[in-house]
């Protein structure tokens, strides 16, 4: 990735786990810590550091290019320190480039090989000088982090460990037959098909010879072991399928329809686990054109279930005594697994695999259960999208040592969703935009990452899609940088007809604000209530009558707001035409907010505009520091109001005196 692409990515996504920026006046401790973190972080594939960029969190945009004064010296210092300050020599790739006429240095630090980790700053020592990336930050390794790095450094993985008191008698011949059947299906000429049982187990690295006696490894027992040996050594390492009532896990027995527990060799367990899940899956039946036979299509594609299931048993932590758990709720299936993802959650679905159990992964690959290329999750994402289902959701907790994969059973674009989308017909939404909006409606929000999974877009293209929807007033942005997410604007949260959607939203805002104002005009409240009562008592009241009543309510509220303004200002607002210049508009809003704090709803009613219009204008004035928030720490608060500070008011008055 070149410097210009990294700069563009920075502006769109902020700093993240693989991108850091620094001022770059010198190569100090901060730069060395970032280099160390990129080298250590497992499965990250390294990261980028840009020198010559200034960060100002109060500015917009928050990053500016300042350049570096002596690029040759900085590059030389960095190379020297990388070869002398760590316990192992690091060779980052360093290049310089020009952005906006200024020199910027890009440093790419590849991930170090497992055999040389952990990398640490010699002067600080192992305990305090070993860093990894956690989100967009460099963090000192905890004892658990160090233990993991040392474990990966060990040439012998856990699944290759020998267990005492076991022998070849603990191998299930039926599991070996299943391996041969699956292997022959993939490659009928595979040489291992002609091996004896013991030769085959040796070739698969599932047994080792100790004092001339062959003993199974942990991988050998898990893949091919008998029920007896698995119960003796791995009694809690089952696969459990649980069907529960409703959408929540209460943990109560009476909330469970039924459960299935499987404890046997993985080669014979996997098809039974697949069958338990798929047999319980709803199916859609159809008769293709020209065919006399019906087709069955499960609610979730078979390939998606299979990939998630195989990933669960292949990547779980077998040092933890606990089952792999598949829970079927009314609306989804959750796969719970001991063992957090070795691959950063941000990179799940990208090429490259990080295996916790290398022998198990290798055998499952040879039998076509797994691909070992990191493409399994990408396949799940693709299959869910083809079925018009929400993308799979993954949660990985290093602290709890758990991983959860969730597959939704409900189609994203069902009839209710399509009916809801009708309100946006005037915007000519693309299919990707429609899916993004429905996802935000169903889940409460949508992020750039979720948008990418829904659409298959890259980061810049997903950002442009979200910005367009925000510009149309359909989405509202919250936070900035990696934590940015979008929610539906309030106008979109109601499933109303296009004709009454906007008016009913405004009336609801008025009613809520009136209830929250102890000093609101009692006469106004009574008039509104009388109007509502009259309408409710008319059984033949139709939509037109309701809209007229709502218009009356809004006008009553506008009269009340106008009555709170000085006479001169009130007269000016009432004399405004439909067309008003942006400068005049801003001046009037500021003058209104000088009187006392006003909400976005009140401003929208006062100027006879939508609330989205008012919020956008007020946001512009806040950014220009012409008005302020009454609740600055909660900019999206329902009770937010806008005012002009006394100092600004005094300056405005002083300016009028000249």
* Nearest residue to 641 via CA among 625, 627, 652, 658: 627
367 and 454 inside one domain: no
The per-residue pLDDT for 583 is 80
**pLDDT tens digits for 620-629?**
898 888 999 8
Is the pLDDT confidence value at 68 over 80?
yes
For residue 381, give its domain range.
156-286+296-409
pTM above 0.75, yes or no: no
Q: Is 398 domain-assigned?
A: yes
**Please, what is the average pLDDT of the chain?**
82
Please report which confidence band the pLDDT of residue 294 belongs to, taking 50, 70 and 90 as the band edges: low
The per-residue pLDDT for 245 is 83
Q: Is 350 domain-assigned?
A: yes
406 vs 328: CA distance, rounded Å: 10
CATH number at residue 123: 3.30.950.30
Cβ pair 140, 18 in contact under 8 A: no
Most confident of 125-139, 386-400, 585-599: 125-139
Cα 115-119-123 angle, rounded to 5 deg: 145
**C-beta contacts of 185-189 below 8 A and 24+ residues apart:** 185/368, 186/366, 186/367, 186/368
Report CA dihedral (352, 356, 357, 359) to the nearest 10 degrees: 40
Query: Which of the listed residues 98, 121, 153 is the one where a domain comes to its end?
Result: 153
CATH number at residue 213: 3.30.565.60
DSSP 204: T
Most confident of 431-435, 513-517, 652-656: 431-435
480 and 550 inside one domain: no
The per-residue pLDDT for 584 is 84
* Nearest residue to 104 via CA among 48, 16, 31, 24: 24
191 and 254 inside one domain: yes
462 and 532 inside one domain: no
364 and 432 inside one domain: no
480 and 611 inside one domain: no
Q: Is 499 domain-assigned?
A: no
The per-residue pLDDT for 637 is 72
Cβ pair 53, 63 in contact under 8 A: yes
Is the pLDDT confidence value at 572 over 50?
yes
What is the enclosing helix (H) or strand (E) of 510? helix 498-515
Task: Give the pair of three-digit tokens for residue 271.
Answer: 């098809």
Cβ pair 159, 166 in contact under 8 A: no
332 and 442 inside one domain: no
Cβ pair 163, 206 in contact under 8 A: no
117 and 199 inside one domain: no
* Residues 52-61, mean pLDDT to the nearest whole number: 84
* pLDDT-wise least confident of 36-45, 162-171, 254-263, 286-295: 286-295
318 and 249 inside one domain: yes
What is the enclosing helix (H) or strand (E) of 45? none
Query: Which of the listed residues 354, 381, 409 is the one where a domain comes to its end?
Result: 409
Q: Is 504 domain-assigned?
A: no
Is the pLDDT confidence value at 100 over 70?
yes
Q: Is 500 domain-assigned?
A: no
* pLDDT-wise least confident of 12-26, 510-524, 603-617: 510-524
The per-residue pLDDT for 290 is 65
Report the percent of the chain where pLDDT is more than 90: 36
* pLDDT-wise least confident of 20-29, 219-228, 648-657: 648-657
Is the pLDDT confidence value at 482 over 70?
no
Is the pLDDT confidence value at 549 over 70?
no
**pLDDT tens digits for 503-517?**
444 444 444 444 444
CATH number at residue 585: 1.10.10.10
Task: Give the pair of three-digit tokens for residue 199.
Answer: 């030769």
Most confident of 15-24, 216-225, 292-301, 468-477: 216-225
Query: Which of the listed residues 120, 153, 186 is the one where a domain comes to its end?
Result: 153
Q: What is the DSSP string of 540-584?
A: T--HHHHHHHHHHHHHHHHHHHHHTS-HHHHHHHHT--S---HHH
315 and 373 inside one domain: yes
Q: Is 43 domain-assigned?
A: yes
Is the pLDDT confidence value at 354 over 80?
no
Cβ pair 439, 446 in contact under 8 A: yes
Please report which confidence band the pLDDT of residue 653 belongs to, taking 50, 70 and 90 as the band edges: very low
* Count of C-beta atoms within a 10 Å radius of residue 43: 16
The per-residue pLDDT for 528 is 45
Task: Give the pair of three-digit tokens for residue 381.
Answer: 């994402």
211 and 356 inside one domain: yes
Q: Is 149 domain-assigned?
A: yes
The per-residue pLDDT for 511 is 44
When divided into structural domains, the chain yields a total of 4
What are the b/e assignments for 336-371, b being 16+ CB within 10 Å?
bbbbbbbbbbebbbeeebbbbbebbbbbbbbbebbb
Pairing of strands 324-328, 239-244: parallel
The per-residue pLDDT for 263 is 94
* pLDDT-wise least confident of 8-17, 184-193, 264-273, 413-422: 413-422
253 and 397 inside one domain: yes
* pLDDT-wise least confident of 5-19, 393-407, 573-587: 573-587
The per-residue pLDDT for 520 is 42
The per-residue pLDDT for 273 is 95
Report the percent of the chain where pLDDT is more than 70: 83
Walk across the sheet containing 93-99 and list its strands. 19-22, 47-51, 102-109, 93-99
* Residues 210-215, mean pLDDT to the nearest whole number: 88
**Can you name the residues that pair with 62 across neighbouring β-strands?**
none
Q: Is 397 domain-assigned?
A: yes
């Amino acid at each position: 990735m070149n410097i210009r692409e990294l700069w563009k990515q920075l502006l769109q996504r902020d700093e993240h786990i693989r991108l850091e920026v620094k001022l770059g006046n010198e190569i100090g401790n901060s730069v060395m810590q970032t280099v160390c973190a990129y080298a250590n972080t497992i499965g990250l594939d390294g990261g980028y550091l840009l020198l010559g960029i200034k960060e100002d969190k109060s500015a917009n945009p928050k990053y500016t290019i300042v350049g570096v004064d002596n690029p040759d010296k900085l590059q030389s210092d960095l190379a020297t320190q990388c070869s002398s300050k760590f316990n192992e020599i690091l060779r980052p790739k360093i290049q310089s480039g020009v952005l906006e006429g200024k020199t910027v240095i890009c440093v790419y630090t590849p991930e170090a090989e497992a055999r040389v980790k952990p990398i640490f700053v010699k002067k600080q020592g192992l305990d305090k000088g070993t860093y990894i990336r956690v989100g967009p930050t460099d963090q000192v390794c905890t004892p658990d982090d160090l233990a993991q790095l040392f474990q990966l450094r060990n040439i012998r993985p856990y699944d290759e460990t020998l267990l005492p008191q076991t022998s070849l008698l603990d191998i299930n011949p039926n599991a070996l037959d299943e391996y041969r059947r699956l292997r022959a299906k993939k490659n009928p000429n595979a040489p291992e098909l002609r091996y004896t049982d013991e030769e085959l187990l040796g070739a698969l690295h599932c047994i080792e010879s100790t004092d001339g006696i062959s003993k199974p490894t942990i991988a050998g027992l898990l893949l091919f072991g008998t029920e007896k040996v698995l119960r003796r050594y791995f009694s809690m390492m089952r696969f459990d399928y649980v069907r529960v009532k409703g959408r929540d896990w209460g943990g109560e027995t009476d909330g469970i329809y039924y459960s299935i527990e499987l404890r046997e060799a993985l080669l014979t367990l996997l098809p039974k686990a697949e069958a338990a899940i798929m047999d319980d899956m709803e199916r859609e039946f159809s008769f293709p054109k020209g065919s006399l036979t019906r087709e069955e299509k499960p609610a979730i594609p078979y390939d998606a279930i299979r990939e998630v299931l195989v990933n669960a048993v292949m990547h779980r932590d077998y040092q933890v005594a606990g089952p792999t758990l598949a829970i079927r709720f009314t609306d989804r299936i959750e796969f719970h697994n001991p063992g957090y993802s070795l691959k950063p959650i941000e990179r799940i679905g990208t090429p490259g695999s990080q295996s916790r159990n290398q022998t198990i992964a290798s055998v499952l690959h040879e039998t076509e259960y797994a691909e070992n290329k990191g493409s399994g999750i990408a396949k799940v994402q693709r299959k869910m999208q083809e079925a018009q289902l929400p993308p799979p959701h993954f949660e990985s907790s290093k602290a709890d040592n758990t991983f959860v994969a969730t597959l939704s059973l409900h189609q994203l674009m069902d009839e209710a969703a399509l009916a809801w989308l009708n309100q946006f017909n005037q915007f000519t939404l693309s299919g990707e935009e429609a899916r993004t909006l429905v996802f935000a409606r169903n889940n409460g929000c949508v992020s750039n990452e979720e948008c990418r999974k829904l659409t298959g877009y890259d980061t810049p293209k997903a950002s442009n899609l979200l910005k367009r929807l925000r510009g149309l007033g359909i989405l509202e942005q919250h936070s900035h940088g990696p934590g940015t997410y979008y929610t539906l604007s309030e106008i979109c949260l109601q499933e109303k007809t296009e004709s009454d959607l906007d008016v009913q939203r405004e009336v609801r805002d008025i009613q809520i604000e009136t209830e929250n104002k102890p000093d609101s005009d009692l006469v106004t409240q009574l008039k509104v209530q009388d109007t509502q009562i009259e309408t409710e008592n008319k059984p033949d009241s139709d939509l037109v009558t309701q809209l007229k009543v709502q218009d009356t309510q809004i006008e009553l509220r506008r009269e009340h707001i106008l009555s709170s303004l000085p006479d001169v200002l009130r007269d000016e607002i009432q004399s405004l035409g439909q067309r008003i210049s942006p400068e005049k508009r801003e001046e009037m809003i500021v003058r209104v907010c000088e009187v006392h704090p006003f909400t976005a709803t009140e401003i929208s009613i006062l100027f006879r505009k939508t609330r989205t219009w008012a919020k956008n204008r007020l946001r512009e004035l806040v950014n220009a520091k012409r008005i302020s928030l009454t609740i600055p720490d909660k900019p999206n608060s329902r009770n937010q109001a806008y005012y002009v500070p006394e100092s600004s008011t005094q300056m405005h008055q002083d300016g009028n005196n000249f």
